[in-house]
């Protein structure tokens, strides 16, 4: 006889979440064996099997919302006593011996769950609050030793697990903590608090550095002709720095290589391709680095972009940027060309998948048609997220970018 097992009276009429499923089709279950675990705002609770039998199919999945009467699974039962159909079934009373026992034994409402992991069953004792915290911190309770009565896992055990991992005693990915050094023992010192911007930047940069597998690809673009054009414009009173042309060339390259104008979604399983071209520009301010975003670069003229970059970098230095001014970038450019240096490895500005570093152009002897000729070469450093961009794609992108800058007319094609 196949019987539908439903959610019993759980003391609330509201819907609650299914957070664990402890059985699978084909399993043989005993009376009171945990079938699923539900979680409300205040507590989590197991739903035990009211009967012995074989699980035929599961009707819920993790994340579903259920309430009293929702079907959990279909159970093949063998005893005559259990041969009642759903229509004549009496409402099940929620009388889990596990929870009942613990209600009387332990004021902390400790639950015991039979979890299935790699085909082995492990008894885990932990309160609903500890289970919730473990889920939030992504800690597998199977890997935690409980220090409480009956090996019950307590909040402190979770915190100790994290501390151990942070000290490098965990499994692999843990980072060693920074050493605390008293520098005054070596000479005079002054302690200066980091600005809010620097603290915020530190968090973001660290996250991006740790989460993104970076590769940096270098190239030198011949901007001799671009520079001649730029100077001729300056003579006519149009002040345009190389960065403006670089922004335009980047957009032309993004159109050709759409995987650079993209972001990974939060699951890391999908690439979101963008049909707009908003470019973040790193701006150095006395308080630290900020990245305002210039929108729709593809639709603006060189002169309009030059004006907008001047205005927005001024706004950044005057601390007048609003959060919306720094959102929505597709790709970021960090230009240190006004300062110097030959190359650097910029950190990808998540959720972008690539960033271009620009260093100071220099006249170099370049071998063309059997002779060395002086050419103005612009160093470019492209860092990209290797999960999204392959090395060959990175090289193609930067080579194409260099071609656009060498001959800006090619962008019009």
Catalytic residues: 386
Give the number of other Cβ atoms within 10 Å of residue 362's Cβ: 13
Residues 226, 337: Cα–Cα separation, whole Å: 15
- Contact between 55 and 24 under an 8 Å Cβ cutoff? The reply is yes
DSSP-derived pairing of the beta strands 293-294 and 279-281: antiparallel
Residues 240-269 contacting ligand CAO, CB under 6 A: 241-243
Which one of the spans 11-19, 75-83, 161-169, 277-285 is the region binding ligand CAO (CB under 6 A)?
A: 277-285
Cα–Cα nearest to 358, from 245, 252, 255:
245
Residues 48, 50: Cα–Cα separation, whole Å: 6
Per CB under 6 A, the list member of 49, 96, 361, 381 interacting with ligand CAO is: 361
Q: Which is nearer to ligand CAO, 8 or 337 (CB)?
A: 337
Q: Who contacts 317 (Cβ-Cβ below 8 Å, separation ≥6)?
A: 283, 285, 286
Q: Total binding residues for ligand CAO by CB under 6 A?
A: 20
Q: Which is nearer to ligand CAO, 289 or 343 (CB)?
A: 289
Which one of the spans 7-15, 38-46, 102-110, 333-341 is the region binding ligand CAO (CB under 6 A)?
A: 333-341
Residues 257, 389: Cα–Cα separation, whole Å: 10
Q: Which is nearer to ligand CAO, 76 or 214 (CB)?
A: 214
Residue 259: DSSP 8-state: G
Residue whose entry in the numeric block shows the structure tokens 């008894």 = 123
Site membership for ligand CAO, residue 217 (CB under 6 A): no
Q: Which is nearer to ligand CAO, 33 or 241 (CB)?
A: 241
Per CB under 6 A, the list member of 346, 380, 394, 405 interacting with ligand CAO is: 346
Q: How far is the CB of 25 from ligand CAO (least distance, A)?
A: 53
Q: Which is nearer to ligand CAO, 19 or 293 (CB)?
A: 293
Residues 47, 127: Cα–Cα separation, whole Å: 16
Site membership for ligand CAO, residue 284 (CB under 6 A): yes
Site membership for ligand CAO, residue 201 (CB under 6 A): no
Which one of the spans 128-136, 173-181, 236-244, 394-402 is the region binding ligand CAO (CB under 6 A)?
A: 236-244
Instruction: Give the contact letters, 178-197, x = binds to ligand CAO (CB under 6 A), - = no.
Output: --------------------
Which DSSP helix (H) or strand (E) runs through 74? strand 71-76
- Contact between 150 and 125 under an 8 Å Cβ cutoff? The reply is yes
Instruction: Give the contact letters, 68-97, x = binds to ligand CAO (CB under 6 A), - = no.
Output: ------------------------------
Q: How far is CA 289 from CA 125, 198, 214, 250, 292, in A?
A: 48, 7, 20, 21, 10
Site membership for ligand CAO, residue 360 (CB under 6 A): yes
Which one of the spans 9-17, 140-148, 177-185, 283-291 is the region binding ligand CAO (CB under 6 A)?
A: 283-291
Q: Which is nearer to ligand CAO, 89 or 363 (CB)?
A: 363
Residues 239, 221: Cα–Cα separation, whole Å: 21
Q: Who contacts 141 (Cβ-Cβ below 8 Å, separation ≥6)?
A: 115, 124, 126, 131, 134, 153
Q: Which residue is nearest to ligand CAO (CB)?
A: 337
Query: 303-308 — which CB contacts under 8 Å span 24+ positions?
Result: 303/238, 303/240, 305/244, 305/247, 305/248, 306/238, 306/239, 306/240, 306/241, 306/244
Per CB under 6 A, the list member of 43, 282, 354, 388 interacting with ligand CAO is: 282
Q: Which is nearer to ligand CAO, 77 or 334 (CB)?
A: 334
Site membership for ligand CAO, residue 335 (CB under 6 A): yes
Q: Who contacts 8 (Cβ-Cβ below 8 Å, separation ≥6)?
A: 47, 50, 68, 91, 92, 93, 94
Instruction: Give the contact letters, 373-412, x = binds to ligand CAO (CB under 6 A), - = no.
Output: -----x----------------------------------
- Contact between 329 and 352 under an 8 Å Cβ cutoff? The reply is yes
Q: How far is the CB of 257 from ligand CAO (least distance, A)?
A: 21
Residue whose entry in the numeric block shows the structure tokens 């697990």 = 161
Q: How far is the CB of 175 from ligand CAO (least distance, A)?
A: 22
- Interacting residue ranges for ligand CAO, rule: CB under 6 A: 241-243, 281-284, 289, 309, 313, 334-338, 346, 358, 360-361, 378
């Amino acid at each position: 006889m196949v019987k539908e097992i439903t959610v019993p009276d759980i003391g609330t009429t509201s819907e609650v979440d299914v957070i664990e499923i402890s059985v699978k089709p084909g399993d043989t279950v005993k009376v009171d064996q945990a079938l699923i675990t539900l979680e409300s705002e205040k507590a989590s609770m197991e739903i035990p099997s009211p009967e012995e039998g074989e699980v035929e199919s599961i009707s819920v999945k993790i994340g579903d919302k259920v309430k009293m009467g929702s079907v959990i699974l279909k159970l093949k039962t063998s005893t005559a006593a259990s041969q009642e159909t759903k229509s004549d079934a009496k409402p099940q009373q929620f009388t889990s011996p596990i929870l009942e026992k613990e209600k009387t034994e332990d004021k902390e409402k400790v639950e015991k769950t039979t979890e299935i992991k790699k085909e082995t069953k492990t008894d885990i004792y932990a309160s609903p609050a500890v289970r919730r915290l473990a889920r939030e911190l992504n800690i597998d309770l199977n890997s935690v030793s409980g220090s409480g009565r009956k090996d019950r896992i307590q909040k402190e055990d979770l915190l100790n697990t994290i501390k151990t991992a942070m000290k490098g005693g965990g499994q692999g990915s843990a980072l060693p903590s920074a050493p605390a050094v008293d520098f005054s023992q070596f000479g005079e010192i002054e302690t200066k608090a980091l600005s809010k911007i620097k603290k915020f930047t530190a968090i973001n940069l660290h996250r991006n550095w740790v989460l993104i597998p970076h590769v940096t690809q270098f190239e030198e673009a011949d901007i001799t002709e671009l520079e001649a054009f730029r100077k001729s414009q300056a003579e006519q009173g149009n002040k345009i720095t190389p960065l403006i042309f670089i922004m335009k060339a980047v957009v032309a390259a993004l159109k050709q290589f759409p995987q650079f104008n993209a972001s990974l979604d939060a699951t890391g399983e999908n690439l979101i391709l963008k049909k707009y071209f908003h470019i973040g520009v790193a701006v150095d301010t006395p308080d630290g680095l900020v990245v305002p975003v210039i929108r729709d670069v593809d639709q603006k003229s060189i002169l309009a972009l030059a004006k907008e970059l001047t205005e927005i970098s001024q706004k950044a230095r005057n601390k007048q940027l609003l959060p919306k001014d720094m959102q929505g970038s597709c790709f970021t450019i960090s230009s240190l060309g006004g300062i110097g240096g030959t190359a650097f490895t910029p950190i990808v500005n998540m959720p972008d998948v690539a960033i271009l570093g620009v260093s100071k152009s220099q006249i170099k002897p370049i071998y063309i048609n059997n002779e060395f000729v002086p050419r103005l070469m612009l160093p470019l450093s492209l860092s990209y997220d290797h999960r999204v961009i392959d090395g060959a794609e990175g090289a193609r992108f930067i080579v194409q970018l260099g071609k656009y800058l060498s001959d800006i007319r090619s962008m019009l094609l």
